[in-house]
Structure 1
């Protein structure tokens, strides 16, 4: 087959891009693409003008480098940051909307992008309480644009190779569960909890399949944590965990663990690590001293009972020792809890990550 000069130039340029952007020895993967909710948001919601689900104000970020709020729902770094560090990046992938709002003409960074958004759910409309967020389906649409940009920059074959070695992180579902069990939920009036769980799994499966169509091969997929034990739920339940929300979180996790092996058999080249957020955070709550925690019920930042009647806003009080609290605010873990969580699922046994942990997934 003959190539003209233009084709040869394009071919060698693509090779040059691959070599120039070959990830360093310190990096275990070439890129991270992060999908999810406020547990992983690193600032996307800062760019949503009418959203109430924001963390771009004090006291968020008081332990983050620079001690300024960044849009993370945390006193410091969140799980996305610690996972990025584990795989050799200096920082988390930047928020998609920050790139779109600044200078899209330069393209998207080859080391990854974060699409995670506070208040997001698997379903569209889960964010209704907070007026605006980016649900998972929309996050997947944004990824399509990044994928197309990458193919244009590297060429199809090189882009596919790049993406096949990258990590695709999916941490979502908590807002769907909490929304369903909120008193007066329209969904709860229309469907049973089991039907709702089944529809969550199906909707997630469709998105994961779409991501596979666009190059994703290595997935880190988190189950839902013990959401019924967050300060917000305890405040509504006489300081005790909402066991109904916890029960259905477990049922969702079981359904997710059942669905993933079947999906792997359907999607060529797919590998995954299911990380058991429920087990990890349950250990924090049940045996806190093992991890250096002394406070598992109350938020560190907020006002009212358990500091959970008013969120972590600038007028709220915050604790002086964040490292001994599991929860930073009425929903989210402290930086310390997030760090221990990532340490556990990255290197942990099958009690916390199946069929392999995250480090083993990278090596496949």
Structure 2
């Protein structure tokens, strides 16, 4: 009798373990997420750059993060990188500079973030912010991670692991800000020449990632840059800076063409392009359905539109962050970032080209 009870218990235990392992693997949709880019997806790398002024490791940043503490994210809470990780059943990819000295290289297995506030496609884009990890350097760092993974897993297993992983690239805004603010850049090239060079330079970096095993790319277009609070306060009427927004559109077109080219050149490369511009414009023009009531002013800052002074500890902060599109003078709120990622993941071809993220994972 006792042996039967034991046998039943043992079988129940085996079934429970099988059930839990099956469900956890089902929840995790990809092996890893590797993130490259700027402050829109920085999860704390700039905390480790001693002279950088592009930091968010102080209040009121992080006020709605689970820990209620600033983490280095330029947000009241989670950013797009966090929500992508959530969607695919993984923890947020940690900042590379926080884990690179960790002797346990297994921390790289589910991905890592190289994103850095102030970074651009061109290495010169962060000069006014003193220091960031340039995109070139971010890809260099990924090269060392690739080497570690190959040593850990073996070449064949590492390639299989990476071919199913996601490589998210969110970059380009700082290059447009740079072009907008520097007359010498505008003298050297027309806007069209500049954005075409941005796309061509990014293409080179994506090819490097491909050489290191990347196959599935999530490439995010620029938003309506002219409508951020930092641009609106340049006008007495607080209207959007149409010129800056037009440059975003031009770059997005160049980016889309470049990605189509790249797919035809690189065997096995797949991607989703997210039209941030259209989604953001839709929210700004018709905010109510998404729960927003404030589309012009930042939530955290001082002065007109809370955009004269950035979000620092002495800044005022709005009580309802979920009804603001913008957290500070440059960055979206957690609520806006969540909508972006929901759309990337399951959105129609109107916003995700040629496929959405769910279909990219399945491809």
For normalisation by structure 2, the TM-score amounts to 0.92
Structure 2 distance, partners of 1:350, 1:129, is 37
Q: Deviations over 1:297-340 (max 9, x none)?
A: 00000000100000000000000000000000000000000001
Instruction: Check conservation: 1:108, 1:149, Cα contact below 8 A.
Output: no
* CA shift for structure 1 position 150: 0.3
Counting only pairs closer than 5 Å after superposition, residues 80-229 of structure 1 correspond to structure 2 as 80-89=81-90, 91-100=91-100, 102-104=101-103, 106=105, 108-182=107-181, 184-229=182-227
Instruction: Check conservation: 1:34, 1:168, Cα contact below 8 A.
Output: yes
* CA shift for structure 1 position 285: 0.5
Could you say which residue in structure 2 is the equivalent of 1:237?
235
Structure 2 distance, partners of 1:289, 1:147, is 45
Could you say which residue in structure 1 is the equivalent of 2:66?
65
Structure 2 distance, partners of 1:169, 1:240, is 32
Distance 1:355 1:141, change over 3 A: same
Could you say which residue in structure 1 is the equivalent of 2:12?
none
Instruction: Check conservation: 2:37, 2:169, Cα contact below 8 A.
Output: yes
Q: Deviations over 1:235-294 (max 9, x none)?
A: 112211110010010011011111111110100100000001101111110101111100
Q: Secondary structure at the match of 1:262?
A: helix
Structure 2: 5+ residue stretches without partners: 1-20
Structure 1: 5+ residue stretches without partners: 1-19
Could you say which residue in structure 1 is the equivalent of 2:336?
337
Q: Secondary structure at the match of 1:114?
A: coil
Structure 2 distance, partners of 1:92, 1:281, is 24
Structure 2 distance, partners of 1:347, 1:170, is 18
Q: Deviations over 1:4-33 (max 9, x none)?
A: xxxxxxxxxxxxxxxx9xx82210000000
Q: Deviations over 1:6-65 (max 9, x none)?
A: xxxxxxxxxxxxxx9xx8221000000000100000000000000010000000000001
Instruction: Check conservation: 1:179, 1:185, Cα contact below 8 A.
Output: no
Structure 1 distance, partners of 2:298, 2:86, is 26
Structure 2 distance, partners of 1:200, 1:234, is 25
Distance 1:148 1:337, change over 3 A: same
* CA shift for structure 1 position 189: 2.5
The CA RMSD measured in Å over matched residues stands at 1.2
Of structures 1 and 2, the larger Rg is shown by 2
* CA shift for structure 1 position 105: 5.4
Structure 1 distance, partners of 2:242, 2:303, is 22
Could you say which residue in structure 2 is the equivalent of 1:300?
299
For normalisation by structure 1, the TM-score amounts to 0.92
Structure 2 distance, partners of 1:243, 1:165, is 39
Structure 2 distance, partners of 1:74, 1:127, is 20
Structure 2 distance, partners of 1:185, 1:86, is 42
Could you say which residue in structure 1 is the equivalent of 2:309?
310
* CA shift for structure 1 position 125: 1.3
Question: How many residues are aligned here?
Answer: 340
Instruction: Check conservation: 1:107, 1:149, Cα contact below 8 A.
Output: no
Could you say which residue in structure 1 is the equivalent of 2:5?
none
